[in-house]
Structure 1
Amino acid sequence: MLEEELNKLKETHTTPSYSSVTKNSQPSQNQKITNNVPAIIIKPTITQDSQVTKKEIQDTIDPKKINVSINSIQTSKHGCFVIKCNTEEGANKLMKETQKNKKLGEKYGIKLSQMKKPRIKIITSSTTMNKEEIEECSMKQNQFIGPDDDINVTFMKQINSGKQIIFAECSGTTFPKLMNFKRIYVGWERCPVYEDLNIPRCKTCHAYDHKDTNCRNKLTCPYCGGEHRSINAQRNTRSVVTAKNRWKNLQI
């Protein structure tokens, strides 16, 4: 009898396995966590320091009371305060809580940032289809694109080779699928798809990632590195650099 009771106690007090613990500790499927969450921008109606805005918001709103998780916070120019939550549901909840607060609603303008859609370009031969027809073909002819996906053609451009570039925007769920397959069926064609990268280049210093209106660097010639405009570079220097660039493109 004693042995039977001991065995029953062992069965009821077994140590849980590592897999069972990790399984129970994982977030539920109902809580969708995504990086593509719009930020909340809080801008004062009067000119003030951004640290003042930050302090007033944090003293007034308690994320714990509304069950919201904050990914990051940062101050911006003109007294703005930017908050980013880990879910879109949390961002909407925090924005509503901030807007309904009379003290904050009268003093601050509160809005969600506009998320930019990924941009792509599709290379086709010259086609007579319009934008709506191309969008319809893209959605119906490609099995990996589901009903929740989205492709919107913005404009089309004819290039010298006789081919056509279709510029489009797509949803965040569609973009990785397109980059994975790298091809899309449009009409009678199987077209290559590329990410449409638009990296700004300064016309003053000719560096990337900023425009000449925001440039603080000195004037630089892209041909010889001199402190003058490219149009003033010596003709022989310009021709040598252009020839080298053409040779590099041929090797690629």
Structure 2
Amino acid sequence: MEAESASSKRRREDDDADVVFSETLPDSIEYSFDADINRLTKVISACKITMSRQSEMIDIVSRLQATFRKSLIQRRVSQQTADIASTLADVQTALQSVTAKLSATEAAPPALSYAQAARSKIVEKVKVPSGKSVAPVPRSTVVIIPKPDSPLKTADETKTTLMKVLDPQKYGLRLDRVTKTGKSSIRLESEKSDLTKIPAAILEEAGLAIKLQGKSFPRLSILDVPRNLSPEQVKEALVSQNFHDASDQVLHLANEHLKVLFRFGNREGANCNWILEVHPEVRRYLLASRRVYVAWNACRVNDHIRVTRCFNCQKYGHHSTNCKSDIQCGHCAEKHETKTCPNPDRDPTCANCVRFGHKGDVVKHKATSNTCPAYLKRLDAKISNTDYGL
């Protein structure tokens, strides 16, 4: 094989140097080049040539050095530009990934912690006197009343007339309950039908009118409140101490729709209990807090829902002070006072269940029982007629 010529060898070395140079561009290359330039300048200066020629050669060397430095800078800038472009591509990919994750997060409901989930369940249900929590069932409720000039005088007459002129099948109505709600009016309830769509014209022809059943605001019980506070002071403390992280809307509703109604429970001691009437959003906020702060006290807060029962006749809906019915025992359902019942050892009999036509084991409980079917029916109606905002 023929020996490699000097020029070929020099070109090959130059090509190899370009590869290394383009890939790494080490500072040692620049240093080595400067050293060679300096040596070349010294050699030129030592040569015995005219001053003009020597100056021209040194000028050529200087321009060569400047050209090299310019080329070096361009190569470095090019490499840095490539690095920046690569980094920007990585950043763009990362941003696209983050955007996709954010979109998925916005589309899906936020994950709740165990504590948040537990609180959410508490707020979405209503705690009843038995200690259980029940979920309110949305109902459409209307009241049918006779018009002022109608000859209808009783609730039974109103119901009979309504059944003659209104065909549930024709209008796709699914009624869950029809009850008397006054001397001559009846209430219709449905979980699956919008009763407000009952044609008013049909009722008017029969001397009837439809009235929307307005729902009341929910009530809360606040326990262990300092007894020396007035209702106004209790409200002021509740609003100022408990809504620091609430939205402006909830704070406004607390100011406008939080009413301190009355005290209940223990009449002695330094603390007492209060009943509040609040907007549904205010109820949600306070129950989620678990406790509320009034002055120096951390107070328990619960739903307050009660079904009024007369101690005289055991019927629901009125107090004994306004009772006009015959007396009836809450233990045996006979006509005497509960506290003087002569049959304490006899199995109890519920006066209300007997009145509603129940028989057998269904009636074997006291009128005060929290499991009484008549009581649970009334409790369910009470919850349905309260606006919990759920």
TM range (shorter): 0.5 to 0.7
Q: Is 1:42 paired with 2:42?
A: no
Task: Name the structure 2 match of 1:166.
Answer: 274
Q: Is 1:192 paired with 2:300?
A: yes
Q: Deviations over 1:76-125 (max 9, x none)?
A: 3756443334479x344x15x42xx1762671122112323322221322
* Displacement of 1:41: 0.8
Identify, as 1 or 2, the structure richer in helix: 2
In structure 2, the CA distance between the partners of 1:171 and 1:78, relative to structure 1 (3 Å rule), is: same
* Displacement of 1:56: 0.8
Letter of the aligned partner of 1:136 in structure 2? V
In structure 2, the CA distance between the partners of 1:220 and 1:86, relative to structure 1 (3 Å rule), is: closer
SS at match of 1:35: coil
Residue identity over aligned pairs, in percent, reads: 13
Q: Is the 8 A contact 2:166 2:202 kept in 1?
A: no
Q: Is 1:152 paired with 2:255?
A: no
2-side partners of 1:209 and 1:79: how far apart? 18
- Point out the structure with max Rg over C-alpha: 2
What is the root-mean-square deviation of aligned Cα atoms in Å?
4.2
Task: Name the structure 2 match of 1:72.
Answer: 176
Alignment of 1:3-152 (within 5 A): 35-37=137-139, 39-44=141-146, 45-47=150-152, 48=157, 50-58=159-167, 62-64=170-172, 70-76=174-180, 80-86=185-191, 90-92=194-196, 94=197, 97-98=199-200, 101=201, 104=204, 107-123=207-223, 124-125=225-226, 126-127=228-229, 130=233, 133-134=236-237, 136-137=239-240, 140-141=243-244, 143=246, 147=250, 152=258
Task: Name the structure 1 match of 2:115.
Answer: none
Q: Is the 8 A contact 2:139 2:190 kept in 1?
A: yes
1-side partners of 2:179 and 2:315: how far apart? 25
Q: Is the 8 A contact 1:120 1:170 kept in 2?
A: yes
Letter of the aligned partner of 1:72 in structure 2? D
Letter of the aligned partner of 2:274 in structure 1? I
* Displacement of 1:195: 3.4
Q: Deviations over 1:153-208 (max 9, x none)?
A: 23354942122433211244554665565412345542111333545454436x58
TM-score norm. by structure 1 comes to 0.52
TM-score norm. by structure 2 comes to 0.36
In structure 2, the CA distance between the partners of 1:145 and 1:160, relative to structure 1 (3 Å rule), is: farther
Identify, as 1 or 2, the structure richer in strand: 1
Q: Is 1:225 paired with 2:364?
A: no
Letter of the aligned partner of 2:341 in structure 1? G
Task: Name the structure 2 match of 1:7.
Answer: none
Letter of the aligned partner of 2:187 in structure 1? V
SS at match of 2:222: strand
Q: Deviations over 1:207-249 (max 9, x none)?
A: 5856442455212251x5249xxxxxxxxxxxxxxxxxxxxxx
In structure 2, the CA distance between the partners of 1:121 and 1:169, relative to structure 1 (3 Å rule), is: same
SS at match of 2:250: coil
Letter of the aligned partner of 2:236 in structure 1? E
SS at match of 1:161: coil
Q: Is the 8 A contact 1:200 1:209 kept in 2?
A: yes
In structure 2, the CA distance between the partners of 1:192 and 1:215, relative to structure 1 (3 Å rule), is: farther
In structure 2, the CA distance between the partners of 1:54 and 1:145, relative to structure 1 (3 Å rule), is: farther
2-side partners of 1:176 and 1:136: how far apart? 14
1-side partners of 2:237 and 2:327: how far apart? 44
